[in-house]
Amino acid sequence: MNAIVGYIFRTAILLVVFLFSSLTLADTVSKSPVWKISHEQNTVYIGGTIHALAPSDYPLPTAFNTAYNDADILVLETDIAKMQSPEAQALLSKVMLYSNGMTLQKILSPEVYKELSQFLASRGGDITRVAQFKPGMLSIILTLEELKRLNQLGQGVDDYFDKRAQADNKTRLFFEVI
């Protein structure tokens, strides 16, 4: 359950670690959010990324692809496919939804609740559809919806390389496991 909470609340930064590689990136690394750490015959690449990029953010800086191509193992924050499984969704519901009759209306001040209701209505939404969500989940939903509305919601770096690693039959490991 802590893995799900950690995944949800880290909306800004994702570390993608590329293990056991040997290629030198020299100047390319210093011009992108990819860092190289070496010791003897082992090299680790750490890429600073975010979960959702705009389509215009692609292609990624060359250092990401160079590190990926050189890596024997790809270590990601979490297994995105497993996060979408019924089991993970059930755990997510337990963590991110109110139970026992609690709602946003009961925890927000009347003023804030009214502003939220008006904001959702201005976006074609209805507050009753989000009434059971805890504030943390609501903030994620609102952020993703705004990014989508602004056409800024594209594939994240973690998802991009995860799919690529699966297609390449590259070994994948995850920091968080469900």
DSSP string, 122-159: HTT--GGGTTTB-HHHHHHHHHHHHHHHTT-----HHH
Nearest Cα neighbor of 137 from 91, 72, 101 is 91
* pLDDT bracket for residue 23 (50, 70, 90): very low
What pLDDT sits at residue 92? 80
What pLDDT sits at residue 70? 92
| DSSP assignment of the chain | -HHHHHHHH--S-EEEEEES-----HHHHHTTTEEEEEETTEEEEEEEE-S---GGGPSPPHHHHHHHHH-SEEEEEE-HHHHTSHHHHHHHHHHHB--TT--HHHHS-HHHHHHHHHHHHHTT--GGGTTTB-HHHHHHHHHHHHHHHTT-----HHHHHHHHHHHTT-EEEEEE--
CA distance 165 to 75: 10
What pLDDT sits at residue 87? 87
What pLDDT sits at residue 14? 31
Least confident span in 49-53, 59-63, 126-130, 131-135: 49-53
What pLDDT sits at residue 7? 39
pLDDT, average across residues 119-124: 90
Share of the chain above pLDDT 90, in %: 24
| pTM of the full structure | 0.63
Least confident span in 16-25, 115-124, 135-144: 16-25
Nearest Cα neighbor of 25 from 46, 4, 53 is 46
* Token pair belonging to 51: 């979960």
Does position 5 have pLDDT exceeding 60, yes or no? no
What pLDDT sits at residue 121? 92
pLDDT, average across residues 47-70: 86
pLDDT in tens, 148-160: 888 777 778 888 9
* pLDDT bracket for residue 31 (50, 70, 90): low
Q: How far is CA 129 from CA 29, 66, 138, 141, 145, in A?
A: 45, 44, 11, 11, 14
Least confident span in 4-8, 41-45, 149-153, 169-173: 4-8
CA distance 73 to 19: 5
Considering only residues 27 and 91, tell me which one the structure prediction assigns the higher pLDDT.
Answer: 91
